[in-house]
Amino acid sequence: MSEQAPVIEMTGVSKVFLTDEVETHALAGVDLRVERGEYVAVSGPSGCGKSTLLSIMGLLDSPTEGYYALNARDVSDLKHSERARIRNREIGFIFQAFNLIGDLTVYENVELPLTYRGMPSSERRKAALEALERVEMSHRLKHYPSQLSGGQQQRVAVARALGGSPSILLADEPTGNLDSKNGEAVMALLGELHQEGSTICMVTHDPRYSRHSGREIHLFDGAIVDPAHMDDGAHSELVPQ
């Protein structure tokens, strides 16, 4: 184990959604630890709780029960404003649908989250340009998302996530809207970022891409399971690799 506190530490995390008096158990007693510099893939069938888990990691949602600490800080009782501040400073999000703003240029999309920090203009420009250079998109600064391919848009989305030097990158099906060639290119980029020291937690349903990670976590019916036992219905916690 690392001597440093883990970036993510969850104990007994459960999430129940109540709709029309029906309880949906999205997560059930998840114990998870992600060390600094790790590359973890969360896989499992549709509806198993992958995106819910990532939303809780990214402070977009809160668990119904359980303990969650981000960078050794218990986040359970934080106000919305403080959660938003931590998201902006410590978490980089990469979404399946890119989520770029269509009427902003590539450069402006990457710079925008840094503006919310109150970062001086010169620092914002340096950070945005460096992030775009890392994803090999600095030659497209003045282009708009509609002028880019899907693979290029995802590279810009990765640059936006990187711009603020976050503690962790959270990627939700980052190849889901890409063809196989662009998907492999984005996975290669994430692999390079991991080699450079980035901590990454990625949700994917595609085993081709989960193999790029250093450790794979399998979710089934909201619980972490050993895939060897999934066929006989026996659920047991997956031992970290």
217 in any annotated domain: yes
pLDDT in tens, 173-202: 999 999 999 999 999 999 999 999 999 999
Residue 3 pLDDT > 80: no
Residue of 168 and 239 predicted with greater confidence: 168
In a domain, 238, yes or no: no
pLDDT of residue 231: 53
55: three-class secondary structure by DSSP: helix
Evaluate whether residue 31 is within a structural domain. Answer: no
**Is residue 77 within 8 Å of residue 29, measured between CB atoms?**
no
Which pLDDT does position 229 carry in this prediction?
Answer: 55
Instruction: Provide mean pLDDT across the span 103-109.
Output: 97
pTM: 0.86
Q: Is the pLDDT of residue 161 over 90?
A: yes
Q: For a pLDDT cut of 90, what percent of the chain falls above it? A: 76
Cα–Cα dist 199/196, whole Å: 9
Query: What mean pLDDT comes out for the span 215-226?
Result: 92
Count: domains in the chain: 1
pLDDT exceeds cutoff 80 at 239:
no
Q: Which of 77-86, 124-133, 192-201, 227-236 has the lowest mean pLDDT?
A: 227-236
Residues facing 40 on adjacent strands = 201, 215
- What's the alpha-carbon Rg for the chain, to the nearest Å? 18
What is the C-alpha to C-alpha distance for residues 88 and 116, in angstroms, rounded to an integer? Answer: 8
Residue 53, pLDDT > 80, answer: yes
Is the predicted pLDDT of residue 234 greater than 80, yes or no?
Answer: no
Question: What CATH number did the domain enclosing 150 receive?
Answer: 3.40.50.300
Residue 196 included in any domain: yes
Residues 130-149, mean pLDDT to the nearest whole number: 95
Residue-range definition of the domain harbouring residue 223: 37-60+80-229
**117-121 LR contacts (CB < 8 Å, sep 24+):** 117/88, 117/89, 117/164
Predicted pLDDT of residue 168: 95
Q: Is residue 241 part of a domain?
A: no
pLDDT bracket for residue 2 (50, 70, 90): very low
Cα 17 from Cα 83, distance rounded (Å):
21
Residue 210 lies in a domain: yes
Torsion of Cα atoms, 86 then 91 then 97 then 101, to 10°: 60
What integer pLDDT is reported at residue 228 of this predicted model?
63
Question: Within a domain: residue 172?
Answer: yes
Residue 25 maps to a domain:
no
pLDDT at 237: 41
Strands (E), 136-239: 168-172, 200-203, 215-220, 223-225
